[in-house]
Amino acid sequence: MEYYIAEGDSIRRAGMKYLVKKIVTLIMTLFLVSVLAFLAFQIIPGDVVTSILGTEATPEREEALRKELGLDKPPVVRYFRWAGNVLKGDFGESYRYSKNMNQMMPVAELIGDKLPVTLLLAAISMVLIAVIAIPLGVLWARTKNRFLDVVMNMGSQTAMAIPSFFLGVLVTYLFGILLKWFSPGGYVSYRENFWGCVRYLIFPAISVAIPKIAMTARFLRNSMLTESGSDYVRTAYSKGASERRVAYGHVLRNAMMPVVTFLGMIVAEIVAGSIVVEQVFSLPGIGKLLISSISTRDFPVVEILILYITFVVIVVYFLVDVLYRVIDPRISNK
């Protein structure tokens, strides 16, 4: 007699193996990214030393500064020193910002309270996307009204076409200048008033979120329509299940699986979008610092910022991957 049931034990073992493999890949990607981030700034045309001291400096002074910055060592040594310091929490010092007369500003301090602003903005955007896009997508998939379908389709196409910074300008104009729901530039620090800060951040978050909401709703709708054509949906109807029950009890759960991955994939874009939108709303996040550091070629700051943002993105990818595995029973046995 045909007989095959996977042993619970072997599933668990496969799960552990998968997790270990994933963590190893995660660490390898992090390593590779840090190497890329570091190496990128080693091939810079034009010398940092010249750019700090100007072209008038004496060779001796240049030599001294080079030694001070550790630039006389080979790149591999410098990478491991740098990476080691980063792991210890020492992010180096800025080339540009000085703390006082004889000390440069540590990057950690410079980033300090700017990072939470950006992450908070990204998080609010993510919440907006999840809360709005999913019901919208379900509604869209279930509507039989052709007119509503066309409206949703055109609306989502348009929303996806608006760049987030222009959306920021529109939101500023509409809610800030016409409706006066918030005063542009009137940011409140999250340390002083957390909810006030969140209230202000909602508007930039809307600018980040709208195109992604359109994308996600569209994705979910297509996913649900694809699933609706599946054989198991027909089976469910054959049991006498109502359309509503089939949609929520069978289709949605299966349709959500790829959406979870999709949401994870747009995390990177949300973070990037946050950086741009910060400029529009003049938020004191890392976006502004990043742009100004790039313009002034303040590489230690740029390096750390890039590393930081990428780490966040990679870790989110990792978590989504693991989450997907937890919620989708099919994968555990593949």
- For another protein, the binding residues in 264-323 under the rule CB under 8 A are 268-269, 271-272, 275-276, 279-280, 290-291, 293-295, 297, 299, 302, 306, 309-310, 313-314, 317
| Residue 145 CB, nearest approach to another protein (Å) | 14
Residues 148-207 that bind another protein (CB under 8 A): 157-158, 160-166, 169-170, 172-173, 177
Distance of closest approach, residue 271 Cβ to another protein, in angstroms:
5
In the complex, least distance from residue 323 CB atom to another protein, rounded to whole angstroms: 14
CA 303/CA 301 separation, integer angstroms: 5
**Region 99-118 residues binding another protein, contact defined as CB under 8 A:** none
Query: Of the candidates 152, 155, 125, 158, which has an alpha carbon nearest to the alpha carbon of residue 139?
Result: 152
User: The tokens 């590393």 sit on which residue?
Assistant: 307
Question: DSSP readout, 186-234?
Answer: ----TTT-HHHHHHHHHHHHHHHHHHHHHHHHHHHHHHHHHHHTSHHHH
Contact string 22-61 vs another protein (x = CB under 8 A): --xx--xx--xx--xx--xx-xxx----------------
Q: State the nearest-atom distance from the C-beta of 160 to another protein, in Å.
A: 6
Cβ of residue 8: shortest distance to another protein, in angstroms? 9
Out of 241, 260, 320, 322, point to the residue binding another protein (CB under 8 A): 241
* 226 forms part of the interface with another protein (CB under 8 A): no
Which residues does residue 106 pair with via DSSP β-bridges, in sequence order? 93
Angle at 82 between CA 78 and CA 83, to 5 degrees: 120
Sign, Cα dihedral of 202, 206, 207, 208: positive
Whether residue 306 contacts residue 291, with contact meaning beta carbons closer than 8 Å, is answered with no
For residue 34, the minimal CB distance to another protein (Å) is: 10
CA 137, distance to chain mean position in Å, is: 22
By CB under 8 A, residue 324 contacts another protein? no
Binding mask 59-88 for another protein (x = CB under 8 A): ------------------------------
Pick from 261, 264, 253: nearest CA to 227: 253
Q: Which one of residues 10, 16, 17, 72 is an interface residue with another protein (CB under 8 A)?
A: 17
Q: C-alpha angle with apex 271: 265 to 275, nearest 5 degrees?
A: 150
Binding segment for another protein (CB under 8 A), chosen from 74-82, 95-103, 134-142, 263-271, is 263-271
Q: Which is nearer to another protein, 133 or 314 (CB)?
A: 314
- Closest C-alpha among 112, 128, 166 to residue 277: 166
Give 108's Cβ-side CA count (13 Å radius). Answer: 8
Shortest distance (Å) from residue 92 CB to another protein: 16
| Stretch near another protein under the rule CB under 8 A, chosen from 83-91, 105-113, 200-208, 241-249 | 241-249
Q: How many C-beta neighbours within 10 Å does residue 153 have?
A: 13
Residue 93 vs 298, nearer CB to another protein = 298
The reply to whether 21 sits near another protein by the rule CB under 8 A is yes
Instruction: Please tell me the distance from the alpha carbon of residue 255 to that of residue 271, in angstroms, as a whole number.
Output: 25
Using alpha carbons only, how large is the chain's radius of gyration in Å?
Answer: 25
Among 16, 19, 20, 131, the residue binding another protein under the rule CB under 8 A is 20
